[in-house]
Amino acid sequence: MTPRALPVWRSVLFVPVNVEKFVAKAAGVGADALKLDLEDSIGPSDKDSARKMAPDVARRLNEAGDEVMVRVNRPWRLLVRDLEAVVGPHVSTVVLPKADSPDLIKAVSEVIGEMELERGMAVGSTQLMLLIESAEGYLRMPEIARADPRVVAITLGSEDFGLSLGMTADPETLYAPATQVVVAASAAGVIPWGFVGSIAEYKDIDRLRGIVQRSKRLGFRGASCIHPNQVRICNEEFGPSEEEVAAARRLVAAYDEALAQGRGSVEIDGKMVDIPIAERAKGVIRLADALAERARSRNR
């Protein structure tokens, strides 16, 4: 089966939708997408006003060339109001917190589908990123990740997950849960999202870079950010360098030449290259090509 095309998100910057100075600065940060937040960064008394602001903010940012996501609220009464406000052509993805059952995902998808139909959009065009934030959701990740075709990514909401377990959220305690996110996401054909640590880490750049590098080695493809420092590091570490892309192209060319000669492996720079290594190199090339195409489309 041919894998479906998934978004390329090395970095996604949180933007409190009701703080204009953050909205104004967000477009220049260089994140692959912007995540308007209606949940934790918005106080209870400001939920209604933030929700009313969201459609116009999404339109402005999207028309300026940025991909826009929106993190909505739970429980249902807030969630439905949020979806009514934000589902539309300027929002690519709904970020759903506390995704703790497949039935919830299917119900949310159905509601979004009704709104897409009413608004003249292609049904299924709005994607879902799921936040696993409870012990129940963690235990059901394989089912949740496969619950609906809209799902393109799952991630561990580290602080809420730690609270659910009475656990400090740090790289040591999150290591095992994070690896299970990668397994569940990969098995479902969706993006394993996040990094193994707290999203609150952004001042110590060396420490942050180490966290992101380790997360990439574990299989994560990108992460949410709350500060421009995180955006820069995520873009650099989750995206391939020019040297990595050049090496990947050279490796794939040599491997393809070996295949044409009837050989299943080839030695390059003293190392044996076979199918898994060649496929990993092809992934680097695909990522580089996707990033280049997006840059071209934004500059048109």
Q: What are phi and psi of 270, to 5 degrees?
A: 80, 5
DSSP symbols for 38-60: SSTTS-GGGHHHHHHHHHHHHHH
What secondary structure does DSSP assign to 249-280, as a single string?
HHHHHHHHHHHHTT-S-EEETTEEE-HHHHHH
Long-range contacts of 37-42 (CB under 8 A, 24+ apart): 37/70, 37/71, 38/70, 38/71, 38/72, 38/73, 38/82, 38/86, 39/71, 39/72, 39/73, 39/97, 41/14, 41/16, 42/16, 42/17, 42/18
Tell me the two tokens of residue 298: 């934004």
Number of H helices, E strands in the chain: 12, 10
| Dihedral pair phi/psi, residue 271, rounded to 5° | -125, 145
- Beta-sheet pairing, 33-37 with 271-273: unpaired
Record the pTM: 0.91
Checking phi first, is residue 132 left (phi over 0); if not, alpha (psi -120 to 50) or beta? beta
Q: Return per-residue pLDDT of the chain as tens, 300 residues.
A: 345 689 999 999 999 999 999 999 998 899 999 999 999 999 999 999 999 999 999 999 999 999 999 999 999 999 999 999 999 999 999 999 999 999 999 999 999 999 999 999 999 999 999 999 999 999 999 999 999 999 999 999 988 999 999 998 888 899 999 999 999 999 999 999 998 876 666 678 888 899 999 999 999 999 999 998 899 999 999 999 999 999 999 999 999 988 889 888 888 877 888 889 999 999 999 999 999 888 877 766
Tokens (6 digits) for 17: 């939708």
Cα–Cα distance between 240 and 292 in angstroms, integer?
11
